[in-house]
Structure 1
């Protein structure tokens, strides 16, 4: 289970430039630590529980040499994984296979001092309600 969640989380943040349309990102005017605090506060402030804060940047930096790479992708990168019981029920009652999109994630990444906050884009239909929630949380974090 943890391996599957980590693989999904890694897929969220390891997007090549050509696949940028798969994620929505916003620049954050501040430090990585300030951005992660703002995202965490915005999620928890809505009464949502963070299931996992994945430290993807640390993992990539720690394991680069082990996989034969000296490329530093991120200075830091975290992904916050969480669910909304209300929204999850709504989208899965519409289509039980929407389970494939759960949990939902918001990532914070620092590449060379440029801090970004973003999330994966979801398919048309009921999942757009989830995407709207993610965008609302990110917009709050950006303020």
Structure 2
């Protein structure tokens, strides 16, 4: 989790498409709510179902004092998780240990008034097809 937060933090420092460590993040021109709505519609538009929305920003805000921190990381942050039966089967037939990458997640964050949409990068090889698929979903949400 620390690596994801650090990578997203680094991504906030750059304009346009940011690639920090194992994360790709794109700036979104609009509000957090609009970005979340656009992402959900892009996922559904692919014939997929959002299985879970993890409210990471709310959890971090709620537990900030409990863990002894006064740092506010995000105004808001969510991760939408979903799966593609077709891609997941293909990836796991290539290597059953690709189960470690499922479900797929795309995040929306707002930090310092800047909204970003992004995802964790996948290893070289067959998982690059999934990464391209996620990038396509993000590109649709950005339009």
Give the TM-score normalised by the residue count of structure 1. Answer: 0.89
Q: Compared with structure 1, are the counterparts of its residues 37 and 132 closer, same or farther at alpha carbon in structure 2 (3 Å cutoff)?
A: same
Aligned to 2:88: 88
CA-atom RMSD in angstroms: 1.6
Report runs of 4+ in structure 1 exceeding 6 Å deviation: none
Structure 2 match to 1:132: 132
Kept after mapping to 2: 8 A contact 1:109/1:117: yes
Report the counterpart of residue 15 of structure 2 in structure 1. none
Q: CA shift at 1:45, angstroms? A: 1.0
CA distance in 2, matches of 1:24, 1:67: 28
Higher helix share: 1
1:73-129: CA deviation from partner (whole Å, max 9, x where unpaired): 000000000000000000000000000000000000000110000000000111001
| Pairing of 1:115-130 with structure 2 (within 5 A) | 115-130=115-130
Aligned residues between the structures: 134
Matched, 1:53 2:53: yes
Deviations 1:53-83 (A, max 9, x none): 0110010001100111110000000000000
Q: Which has the higher contact order (CA 8 A, sep 6+)?
A: 1
**Where in structure 1 are there 5+ consecutive unaligned residues?**
1-9
- TM-score, length-scaled by structure 2: 0.89
Instruction: State the match for 2:20 in structure 1.
Output: 20
Give distance in 1, aligned partners of 2:136 and 2:55. Answer: 23
Once the 2 structures are TM-superposed, how far is the Cα of residue 20 of structure 1 from its aligned partner?
1.7
